[in-house]
Structure 1
Amino acid sequence: MQIAVLGAGVIGLASAYYLNRAGHQVIVVDRHVDVAAETSFGNGGQLSYSYVAPLAGPGVLSKLPAWLARRDSPVRFRPTVSAEQWLWCLKFAFACTQRRSNLTTRELLSLSFASRALMHQLLCDEPTLDFDFQHSGKLVLHRDVAAMQGAINLLDYQRSLGCDQEALSADECVALEPALANVCGRIVGGIYTRSEDTADCHRFSKGLEAILRARGVQFAMNTRIDALEVAKGGAIVARSGGGTLEADHVVVAAGTSAAHLLQPLGIHVPVYPLKGYSLTYSLGPQAIAPTLSVTDFARKVVYARLGDRLRVAGMADLDGYSLKPDPSRVAALRAEAAALFPQAVADHVDATAWTGLRPATPRGTPIIGPTRYSNLWLNIGHGALGFTLASGSAALLTGWIDGKPDSSLSSLFSLA
């Protein structure tokens, strides 16, 4: 079958890869000149398979007033007149329960563990892929005794879900990651997960593009989809520049653009952008930078070593579709990085700043699978976990299209 994949970020490219492997003819369509030009360009670099708990959790609503009062808060909300924004916020508030959070975490773990296995298999199948992949392990740092104890209390529960983790003291954290030596007195401990990885999402996407082009997959770049329309017979067609894309099936993997693209068809998906920021530091020969994947739990900032670079990412701004960066947020991220790893990211070290829109659902679960239209499929709403969940999501989608959906996953992430 001829399948058009709308979106050339990591989700769209992974979808194209698995569809092509299944024997389909694929064309990837994107409005940008290059692949991975938006959210996949500068994300956090963590393949965080065991840390997929949603932003919507039982303690979030009580923290919001304090967060909203700070310029450097992990989450910031700027109200607009958009009904779309307020409806998303209302659904988010209803999802902030322990029961819903636990269900979402279990669902996401099932997909993330499948993604981990597929990513590792892909590394074996595609030896030419070079994207700074490392089995780095992950260390989640805690600054507060109560927060650390809460994380320790969850270890047995996490193990029951398949996450092998261990609690470390502050000294043990430094022994494992010497780059933390300067801040040992400011942390109380951490949770270490050996199974986590790090990699460069943009380089991964470019590598997939090269493989797909070599295998005959077509790319229609710099091509904007004007509309999805119902053709005679009830099938969906994609219109662009006055013409129609030739395809038997259409896959929407368009990130934050998906909701507006689908709305005229009567398909309302709760996908809304959460603006995030990242910094990429070039590390000099004398830099003392982490080799582990590190997350600062209190600050909600992540650190990933990508070869001779350090990626620092964080923040979640709920303020519409604008990609315009807020200088105060970039400055706050710089300050966090300099405070935690002063010997790696001193003021004189160059850093490239980036802003992207994460396509998030209120519950935190992506939407993968069929729609009411027989030839229209979705792979959207991955939030901050797009890179982590890309392989599993693409394989799940391919199974759906081939009439062989994974029975353990398909009911969890479909629109229905």
Structure 2
Amino acid sequence: MHACVIGAGVIGVTTAWQLARQGWRVTLVDAAAEPAGGASHANGGQLSYSYVAPLAEPGVLPHLPVWLFNPASPLRFRPRLDPLQWRWCLQFLRACNGRTASATSAQLLSLSYLSRQVLHDIQRESPVDFAHARNGKLIVYRTPALLEKARAQVALQAQMGSDQQILDADQLIEREPALAPVRSRLAGAVYTPSEESGDCARFTQGLFQQMAAMDHVTLRMQTPIGQLERSGGRIRRLLTTTGESIEADQYVVAAGMGSRPLLAALGTHAPLYPLKGYSLSLPCTPDQAPAISVTDYERKTVYANLGGTLRIAAMVGIGVADHGIEADRIALVKQQASELLPRADIKQARAWAGYRPATPHGRPLIGRSRAAGNLWLNIGHGALGFTLACGSSHLLGRLMAGATPDIDPVPFQPNC
């Protein structure tokens, strides 16, 4: 059986790698020159398996007025005359309730724990050098009230198998001395010892190089995607903009935001919207950066030490339609990073911006598309693409093989 996978980000590459390991003949296609050129290129670097609460949760609603009108807010919203934007936002707001958020958290946890298992299997059987570290994670809170509120999420996730601890400020500094200069501004943290970190782009490129050595895998980069041609309820071939065609038995769309126009041409609309994020990468020494991954909860900023490179990722932009790096947003990230980690040399930071393809409810879409009998989707992972990639590809591989999946696939079933 021959599968054509569209998209060479972390989701597409892990999907192609999984299918190739299952014995499929695989063709991986992407318009970019190199893998991991989009949202996978410089993301936050956290493998946040035990803390996958969706963005759409009740606590978002009270903060929206402040976030929307505060230039220093982690959220920037630019309204547009775009029905897709308003449809996505309305669906997002409907999902901001306790019942939906709790159910989604449980579903994402099942997928994230599968992803952790699969990643560990990869590292045991076909290891990739991507600065992988099992160094734990700290969710840092500045106010006692929010730290107390975090106890409810910790209790919920404990029922689902998570091992997390509430630390006061002194315990936090004992655990992560790099935060000692700002001890007086911190109330405490949620510590999850099982969390991990790594460089998403290096992981993607490592699997890509493994596939390059496989006789039954064809890697077609710099191949501009045209459209999927459908006939009799099945995809007959993939057409490129240069007039070439690729024929396969099964097709997988894993092209991030590029998935939406491909599916729209087939008459189906994927509920994806690009959430723009920003990151900084800078060299660091052990005394300049935390050894444990850190999330600054109030500022929605993450810090990960990737083997001598500090990765700082932050911000959500909705309706920010250009791919450029907005100077005011990057300046704010630098300012806040300097306040939390005054020993880090922020002047050396390299800035990056990219789109996270997100669904309004926070669950990725994994499974057979309604548009054709031999079309499959692996899209919509938002900010959790790296965390969920291995589990998503494994789940899709089982479904495509007609095998019993390891987890319940129904919550992730595409409706497009």
TM-score class normalised by the smaller sequence: over 0.9
User: Match for residue 206 of structure 1?
Assistant: 205
* Per-residue deviation, residues 252-311 of structure 1 (Å, max 9, x unmatched): 0000111111012122110110000000011257x4210001000110000000011100
Q: How many Å separate the matches in 2 of 1:407 and 1:294? A: 31
Aligned to 1:265, what secondary structure does the other structure show? coil
User: Match for residue 176 of structure 1?
Assistant: 175
Whether the aligned pair in 2 keeps the contact of 1:167 and 1:192 (CA below 8 Å) is yes
State the shift of 1:70 in Å: 1.7
User: Match for residue 350 of structure 1?
Assistant: 348
User: Match for residue 242 of structure 1?
Assistant: 243
Whether the aligned pair in 2 keeps the contact of 1:396 and 1:409 (CA below 8 Å) is no
Identical-residue share of aligned pairs (%):
46
State the shift of 1:374 in Å: 1.3
User: Match for residue 136 of structure 2?
Assistant: 137
**Under a length normalisation based on structure 2, what TM-score does the superposition of the two structures give?**
0.97
Structure 2 counterpart of 1:340, which letter?
A: L
Task: Work out the number of aligned pairs and report it.
Answer: 412
User: Match for residue 386 of structure 2?
Assistant: 387
CA, structure 1 residues 233+183, in 2 after alignment: closer, same or farther (shift >3 Å)?
Answer: closer
Q: How many Å separate the matches in 2 of 1:277 and 1:51? A: 21
Within the alignment, does 1:406 sit opposite 2:405 as a pair? yes
Whether the aligned pair in 2 keeps the contact of 1:337 and 1:345 (CA below 8 Å) is no
Structure 2 counterpart of 1:174, which letter?
A: I
Structure 2 counterpart of 1:277, which letter?
A: Y
Whether the aligned pair in 1 keeps the contact of 2:138 and 2:295 (CA below 8 Å) is yes
State the shift of 1:365 in Å: 0.3
Q: How many Å separate the matches in 1 of 2:308 and 2:293? A: 14
Structure 1 counterpart of 2:392, which letter?
A: S
Give unpaired runs (5+ residues) of structure 2: none
Q: How many Å separate the matches in 2 of 1:254 and 1:179? A: 38
User: Match for residue 44 of structure 2?
Assistant: 44
Give unpaired runs (5+ residues) of structure 1: none
CA, structure 1 residues 263+233, in 2 after alignment: closer, same or farther (shift >3 Å)?
Answer: closer
Q: How many Å separate the matches in 1 of 2:395 and 2:234? A: 25
Whether the aligned pair in 1 keeps the contact of 2:325 and 2:351 (CA below 8 Å) is no
State the shift of 1:153 in Å: 3.5
CA, structure 1 residues 233+79, in 2 after alignment: closer, same or farther (shift >3 Å)?
Answer: closer
Structure 1 counterpart of 2:359, which letter?
A: T
Structure 1 counterpart of 2:307, which letter?
A: G
CA, structure 1 residues 230+46, in 2 after alignment: closer, same or farther (shift >3 Å)?
Answer: same
Aligned to 2:265, what secondary structure does the other structure show? helix
Within the alignment, does 1:225 sit opposite 2:225 as a pair? yes
Within the alignment, does 1:70 sit opposite 2:70 as a pair? yes
User: Match for residue 197 of structure 1?
Assistant: 196
State the shift of 1:232 in Å: 5.2
Equivalent residue runs for 1:31-110 within 5 Å: 31-110=31-110
State the shift of 1:19 in Å: 0.1
Q: How many Å separate the matches in 2 of 1:159 and 1:415? A: 29
User: Match for residue 331 of structure 2?
Assistant: 331
Whether the aligned pair in 2 keeps the contact of 1:250 and 1:377 (CA below 8 Å) is yes
Q: How many Å separate the matches in 2 of 1:233 and 1:324? A: 39
Within the alignment, does 1:259 sit opposite 2:257 as a pair? no
CA, structure 1 residues 190+284, in 2 after alignment: closer, same or farther (shift >3 Å)?
Answer: closer
User: Match for residue 274 of structure 2?
Assistant: 273
State the shift of 1:78 in Å: 0.3
CA, structure 1 residues 53+77, in 2 after alignment: closer, same or farther (shift >3 Å)?
Answer: same
Structure 2 counterpart of 1:157, which letter?
A: L
CA, structure 1 residues 201+409, in 2 after alignment: closer, same or farther (shift >3 Å)?
Answer: same
State the shift of 1:72 in Å: 2.2
Q: How many Å separate the matches in 1 of 2:404 and 2:391? A: 12
Aligned to 1:235, what secondary structure does the other structure show? strand
Deviates more, 1:369-378 or 1:189-198: 369-378
* Per-residue deviation, residues 2-48 of structure 1 (Å, max 9, x unmatched): 11100000000000111001000111100100000010000000000
User: Match for residue 361 of structure 2?
Assistant: 363
User: Match for residue 146 of structure 2?
Assistant: 147
Aligned CA-pair RMSD: 1.3
Structure 1 counterpart of 2:267, which letter?
A: G
State the shift of 1:325 in Å: 1.7
* Per-residue deviation, residues 71-95 of structure 1 (Å, max 9, x unmatched): 2211111001111111111111111
State the shift of 1:195 in Å: 0.5
Structure 2 counterpart of 1:409, which letter?
A: D
Q: How many Å separate the matches in 1 of 2:70 and 2:257? A: 26
CA, structure 1 residues 30+321, in 2 after alignment: closer, same or farther (shift >3 Å)?
Answer: farther
Aligned to 1:239, what secondary structure does the other structure show? strand
Whether the aligned pair in 1 keeps the contact of 2:228 and 2:235 (CA below 8 Å) is no
Whether the aligned pair in 2 keeps the contact of 1:236 and 1:376 (CA below 8 Å) is no
Whether the aligned pair in 2 keeps the contact of 1:367 and 1:380 (CA below 8 Å) is yes
